[in-house]
Amino acid sequence: MMSPFDLASDKVAVLMGGASAEREISLMSGHGVLQALQGQGVNAHAFDPSVRDMVCLKQEGFTRCFIALHGRFGEDGTVQGALELMGIPYTGPGVMASAIAIDKIMTKHIWRADGLPTPNWLKVDSAAATRTALGDLGCPMIVKPSREGSTIGLTKVTSVGQCEAAYALAAGLGDEVLCEQYIAGDEVTVPVLGTCADARALPVVRIKAPDGNYDYNNKYFTDTTEYLVPAGLPDGEEARIMQLAQEAYRSLGCRGWARVDVMIDAPTRLPSLLEINTSPGMTSHSLVPMSARAAGISYQALCLLLLSSACCDYGTV
């Protein structure tokens, strides 16, 4: 349930940091958002849930939260549930959509059930099962934890000999390990804003990473990755991918904002949905602000727009 945003009276917490493997990036996102909101006169304050108890939000009179947390304990429905119980409106999708989206396996099940394209996959529980999956899915193959983001714990397996280490890396970050068919081709991402009914996609961003390796370091800490907006895709392809991203967003019941990652198969030019991020990065290297700029929305305006969309699924108390 949406609550009107009052620039003069709302006290805003920018939730950042947290306890996930993406803490460092969350702090970068959060400080960027905090500075942008304060620069527009918003009474905004930093709040790290791994340092302070969430109940302080209610005790200290915060009336709205901008979630700049990434990964577990922030992007997975847990924080959203706590805010629902306190009746404090928050940015991004609600409890159910957040909990589903963080789980890549569950997300794939729903997308496939709704007839949306996603690479073939297998859930594995051992190195031996990973080797079997390589035979079934083909080589190369992607191995990654089901509930992490930012390519943390991801391995592109190009030989049977890599399976044991790839499984161990992913399993060290969670109980569920996903083996996924590798799609060779253009990597793109599409931000989506709004509620299910009126969700709209922003311009497609095409990613050209060194040697096609868009890993954690190339995402956040180098300037060698190229980002193309306009994406320079063949005629009609960008519009189709934007429509697919909106369908993927609606399929999970998202609201507020999210970013949909897509691979385009080089020979067929058919897109496949990889995953959806329900609390995307807002750093200087982040893709949502980049796409928004191409649509004429500044970083500051984007932050205010997202904050104004904050709500609770079940109303405020």
The yes-or-no answer on residue 148 being catalytic is no
Closest by CA to 65, choosing from 87, 40, 41, is 87
pLDDT at 216: 55
Residue 202 has pLDDT above 90, yes or no: yes
Residue bearing the bigger pLDDT, 288 or 222: 288
Active-site entry in 167, 214, 220, 249: 220
Residue 139 has pLDDT above 80, yes or no: yes
The yes-or-no answer on residue 72 being catalytic is no
Q: Do 235 and 207 fall into the same domain?
A: yes
Q: Which residues, in sequence order, are CB contacts of 99 under 8 Å at separation 6+?
A: 76, 77
Q: Which of 102-111, 190-199, 209-218, 279-288 has the highest mean pLDDT?
A: 102-111
Active-site entry in 84, 187, 247, 261: 261
pLDDT at 148: 82
Active-site entry in 76, 275, 286, 291: 275
Q: Do 204 and 279 fall into the same domain?
A: yes
pTM to 2 decimal places:
0.92
The yes-or-no answer on residue 315 being catalytic is no
The yes-or-no answer on residue 9 being catalytic is no
68: domain CATH number is 3.40.50.20
Domain total of the chain: 3
The yes-or-no answer on residue 61 being catalytic is no
Which of 181, 197, 221 marks a domain boundary?
181
The yes-or-no answer on residue 259 being catalytic is yes
Active-site entry in 98, 150, 218, 251: 150
Residue 217 has pLDDT above 80, yes or no: no
96 assigned to some structural domain? no
Are the beta carbons of 255 and 248 closer than 8 angstroms? no
Active-site entry in 277, 286, 291, 309: 277
Q: Do 81 and 166 fall into the same domain?
A: no
251: domain CATH number is 3.30.470.20
pLDDT band of residue 255 (cuts 50, 70, 90) is very high
pLDDT band of residue 152 (cuts 50, 70, 90) is confident
Q: Do 160 and 231 fall into the same domain?
A: no
Q: Do 223 and 252 fall into the same domain?
A: yes
pLDDT at 2: 54
Q: Do 144 and 292 fall into the same domain?
A: no
Q: Do 111 and 238 fall into the same domain?
A: yes
175: domain CATH number is 3.30.1490.20
Active-site entry in 77, 238, 259, 299: 259
The yes-or-no answer on residue 218 being catalytic is no
170 assigned to some structural domain? yes
pLDDT band of residue 219 (cuts 50, 70, 90) is low
Exposure on the CB side of residue 280, measured as CA atoms within 13 A: 28
Q: Do 63 and 79 fall into the same domain?
A: yes
2 assigned to some structural domain? no
The yes-or-no answer on residue 277 being catalytic is yes
Which domain does 273 fall in, by range? 101-116+184-301
